[in-house]
Structure 1
Amino acid sequence: MFRRYGRWYRWLVVLTVMLGTTSMVLATTIVNVVIPDIMTAFHMGQGRAQWLSTGFLAAMATTMLMTSWCVRAFGQRRTYLAAIILFIALSLVGGLSDSASVLIVSRIIQGAAGGIIQPLAMIAIFQVFPANQRGRAMGIYGLGVVLSPAIGPALGGLLAHYFGWRAVFFVVLPFCLLGAVMAPFFLVGRDRSEERPAFDWPGFALLAAFTTSLLAGLATGRGTGWNSAPALSLSAAAALACLGFAWRELACRHPLLNLRIFANRQFSAAAAVSFAYGMGIYGSTYLIPLFVQTICHYTPIRSGLLLFPGGVVLAGAITIAGRLTDKYSAHGIVIAGLACFGVSFCLFAGVSGTTAFQTMAWWIVLGRLGLGLVIPALNAGAVQTLKPELLGQGSGAVNFVRQLGGAFGVTMVSSFLDWRTAASLEAVQMQLKGAIPPLRSCCNPYTCRPA
């Protein structure tokens, strides 16, 4: 490949995988600004609508661990093409769906296809770049990826305003098609000198059972009570599936996830940070558009524009952080980024229905600045200490943990939103009956309390 394309080959690989990953990230975030419109169109409650996000993220997390096996069994080229063609087909199904069930199922399968592509990008980049250039490469790759959440919400709001919510499912198609055209030229095929590995089907089934039971248990507990029989049964099933998966992976000759990589302390720390990062980024990206549209009565365009400045700052910060990662320790960079992200969340704890647009935009900018510092250092630092033969496993594992954290975070903020909304409605009903003093700000279910 280097002989054919010269010194630009490395960057052509980056562009190819960046197109695929950009499409996946854009599909993840752009839907959030039109969830209120989808709820109206299909008469869905918030509890069911959140599966458009959690189902996508959970499926993505589950299939991420297949990437290492797929690359060894079929090569980067075939794996990438199969996943992106499936993603294109499901984008069309979602955009043309006439029922909530079809839409949710299409989103789940979309997530499954997207889960294979994201770790593949890291594998491809690490194979063509030397160690001292990987931070810069991840920074450039990350710049393209984070442009999706930068422009996604604003673009989604614009499309929803002029063309309806269905248009957001079609906007990723040009990126997918271009990536599918480039992949046969720049991604490598299977190494035929290696024996095709066996796939860990029992491990995959246990992992799918764990993620499904865990998220379904959280959703069920929100509706029927955390001590109800269905919620407890699903929680027990999740725990058993988790234990079964751990036992299977430790005993399996070709595990879906090599749990022994977590013996590496640096990798384990990076995985823990990835889980928290996933909870924060996906939870906030889901909650903020829903909050400002339902509580502050923003239009989809206005809610998208609220997230736009933060996305631009994220894109700029991630480029700088990539260069810093090549020169300095990843630990300090990650700590600084997490501090900014944490302060942003603390500020949002005091949000109300009357908080100014500019104020919320600045809070989001601070959080996205922190994320921009974290992403390159976390991605590079997580796998740099692993042996080359564990690169695929490490890449899939750190992405899996992040997406699982995202699905968990969306489910938790959705549960919290339902709880606070129910409490506020109950308070309003009591006020109408004259049982309690007047409320200060009944328009905000988060801060509604007696005067």
Structure 2
Amino acid sequence: MSQIDRYFERYGPAYKWLATGTIMVATISVVLSTTIVNVAIPAVMGAFGMSAVQAQWISTGFLAAMTATMLLADWTNRAFGTRLTMNAAMSVFLAGSVLGGLAPNETILTLARVVQGAAAGIVQPLAMIMLFKVFPPDKRGAAMGIYGVGVVLAPALGPWIGGLLMDAFDWRFVFYLGLPFAGLAILMSNLFLPSREESGPIPAFDFVGVAILSVFLAILLSTLSNAQRLGWESNIILAGFTISVASAIGFVAWEMNTAKPMLDMRLFANFAFSSASVVAFIMGAGLFGSTYLLPVFVQQIQGMTPTQAGLLLMPSGFAMLLVFPIAGRLSDKVPAPIMIALGMAVFAGSSWLMVAANVHTAFWTLAWWTVLSRVGLGLVFPAISSGALKVLPPHLLGQGSGASNFIRQLGGAFGVNLLTVFIERRTIMHADAFAATQTSDNATTMELLREVAGLMHAAGLPDTQLMPAAASFLGRTVMIQSSNAAFQDGFLIVCGIFLLALIPTWFMWRVASSAT
């Protein structure tokens, strides 16, 4: 009798809900830290004097570390058992949270985020493995929908609560918000999660694979972040891209030939899983990229407070709270490609609407556009999670869970990084274009300068300072408009990314149709 069977014997049918509740609490604690810090980024930039590209490492560093460790979940589960793995991961997460709250500079803060991300990467695949162990195959879609409630509850409430904490106290308090959930997760893990099933020696660990993957992620993301500052054709940037490509090829080659791979390449021989993986990558890029863009946009362009930025995201979180259980049940009955295509199209439509966002866009207009995007995501998540794993044999479920989450997070890390670089480049491009039109021949510009100078004269500013002050105001206006236009371009890119995901979704449909 397995330990799962013993738990069912002890607690009866209710055990699957006790196990689900345990992993939901753990997931809430790590998902809180994934998104809540985005609300604090403008404040952190001011506190440490960081540029936008430096600040995005607070988010990208977390995602990169999470991506690297997601593939370890299957090995740690087999080597140490679910209970010990969850306890260790949540303890490391607690330490990273405290370090982030106490960080004296941006280097320590980024390190704390990497520590948090490394722990968080273990938790999410472990949660999916547990769900597939305690629910029968015909109920796994519904289980993913219920689990998704926990995944979206944290982003729904977290940014708002984080904004309140920031406005009342300090940005450092956002790091402490996940601590109670992490402590509760450790307690529940010791009560309801099984220990190691195997009695033999600990399976071999793929140290070489982890090392190569870490080099690939660190070098590539760092190169992308610094390319704009150092020049895309500079020697150090070209060397970084070369090392990244070599590392990627080396990782694939090693994993295909080692006896104990961290990522079993046999997974991708299954065309349905490969197609789902491409969709997951694109979904991660669009989702995390847009989640990063929106709070920064409304604070930098519209001047919202952190609390208002958090409130903006709350209705969308509650919309997902309603959609997830329904979508989970539907994914057990409706083919996954149909659910995914519908959700992707809805999210793309929402991003298309966001292209029109500017400094004058009303709060509730932005909120409803965001609600629409999260309804689309709510349709995609259960279908992509259960659909990718349903096609795998039981002995590859652990690997498949880690790989699916890994690919989605890899897309997220790339999405945040590339969108940040893209917006920085587009801001400079738009600023140059706008500045070129602000000449003495532009009647609108000259009228604005006269009106601003008149207002400043009425306020008591000396005549010698009127035109310099008016020109300074014009410069700030041009920069705000340039940044606004760059963000609009970013939302357009997100729209395109989700429309692009319809192509591999169609391949998933073809595979499913030919199988029946």
Q: TM-score range by the shorter chain?
A: over 0.9
2:189 equivalent in structure 1? 183
Look up the equivalent residue of 1:77 and give its one-letter code.
R
SS of the aligned residue for 2:332 comes to helix
1:299 equivalent in structure 2? 305
1:205 is aligned to 2:211: yes
2:175 pairs with 157, 164, 169, which one? 169
**Cα displacement string for residues 62-119 of structure 1 (whole angstroms, at most 9, x for unaligned residues):** 0000010000110101100000001001101100111111011010111001001110
Look up the equivalent residue of 1:66 and give its one-letter code.
L
Partners of 2:485 and 2:99 in 1: how far apart? 41
2:380 pairs with 374, 381, 385, which one? 374
Look up the equivalent residue of 1:445 and give its one-letter code.
S
2:334 pairs with 315, 319, 328, which one? 328
Partners of 2:443 and 2:266 in 1: how far apart? 59
1:347 equivalent in structure 2? 353
2:365 equivalent in structure 1? 359
Look up the equivalent residue of 1:211 and give its one-letter code.
L
Partners of 1:219 and 1:41 in 2: how far apart? 21
CA contact (8 A) 1:430 1:436 kept: no
Partners of 1:119 and 1:435 in 2: how far apart? 61
- Which residues of 2 match residues 271-310 of structure 1 at below 5 A? 271-310=277-316
**Greater Rg by CA:** 2
1:132 is aligned to 2:138: yes
SS of the aligned residue for 2:260 comes to coil
Partners of 1:435 and 1:255 in 2: how far apart? 67
**Cα displacement string for residues 351-381 of structure 1 (whole angstroms, at most 9, x for unaligned residues):** 2222222221121111100000001111000
2:411 pairs with 405, 410, 427, which one? 405
SS of the aligned residue for 1:444 comes to helix
2:94 pairs with 88, 94, 102, which one? 88
**Cα displacement string for residues 105-153 of structure 1 (whole angstroms, at most 9, x for unaligned residues):** 0101110010011100000110111101111111111111111111122
1:445 equivalent in structure 2? 482
Partners of 1:201 and 1:438 in 2: how far apart? 64
Partners of 2:271 and 2:440 in 1: how far apart? 58
CA contact (8 A) 2:312 2:366 kept: yes
- Per the TM alignment, residue 436 of structure 1 is displaced from its structure 2 partner at its CA by 6.8
2:27 equivalent in structure 1? 21
1:229 pairs with 231, 235, 239, which one? 235
Q: For the aligned residues, what is the CA RMSD?
A: 1.7
Look up the equivalent residue of 2:264 and give its one-letter code.
N
Look up the equivalent residue of 2:250 and give its one-letter code.
G
SS of the aligned residue for 1:445 comes to helix
2:54 pairs with 36, 39, 48, which one? 48
Between stretches 217-226 and 286-295, larger displacement belongs to 217-226
Partners of 2:484 and 2:28 in 1: how far apart? 36
Name the TM-score, length of structure 1 as normaliser: 0.96
SS of the aligned residue for 2:36 comes to helix
- Per the TM alignment, residue 222 of structure 1 is displaced from its structure 2 partner at its CA by 2.0
1:270 pairs with 267, 273, 276, which one? 276
CA contact (8 A) 1:275 1:402 kept: yes
Look up the equivalent residue of 1:208 and give its one-letter code.
S
**Cα displacement string for residues 266-301 of structure 1 (whole angstroms, at most 9, x for unaligned residues):** 111111111111111111111111111111111111
CA contact (8 A) 1:296 1:354 kept: yes
- Per the TM alignment, residue 445 of structure 1 is displaced from its structure 2 partner at its CA by 2.0
2:398 equivalent in structure 1? 392
Question: What is the aligned-residue identity percentage?
Answer: 47
CA contact (8 A) 1:431 1:438 kept: no
The change in CA–CA distance for 1:362 and 1:437 in structure 2 (over 3 A counts) is farther
Look up the equivalent residue of 1:155 and give its one-letter code.
I
Look up the equivalent residue of 2:481 and give its one-letter code.
N
CA contact (8 A) 1:154 1:303 kept: yes
Partners of 1:38 and 1:164 in 2: how far apart? 10
1:112 equivalent in structure 2? 118
Name the TM-score, length of structure 2 as normaliser: 0.84
1:144 equivalent in structure 2? 150
Partners of 1:421 and 1:437 in 2: how far apart? 24
Partners of 1:353 and 1:423 in 2: how far apart? 19
- Per the TM alignment, residue 424 of structure 1 is displaced from its structure 2 partner at its CA by 4.0
1:64 is aligned to 2:64: no
Look up the equivalent residue of 2:259 and give its one-letter code.
R
1:248 equivalent in structure 2? 254
CA contact (8 A) 2:434 2:482 kept: no
Partners of 1:364 and 1:115 in 2: how far apart? 26
Look up the equivalent residue of 1:254 and give its one-letter code.
K
Partners of 2:347 and 2:378 in 1: how far apart? 10
CA contact (8 A) 1:352 1:446 kept: no
Partners of 1:33 and 1:437 in 2: how far apart? 40
- Per the TM alignment, residue 421 of structure 1 is displaced from its structure 2 partner at its CA by 2.5
Q: How many residues align?
A: 449
The change in CA–CA distance for 1:253 and 1:436 in structure 2 (over 3 A counts) is farther
- Per the TM alignment, residue 196 of structure 1 is displaced from its structure 2 partner at its CA by 2.0
2:493 equivalent in structure 1? none
- Which residues of 2 match residues 413-424 of structure 1 at below 5 A? 413-424=419-430
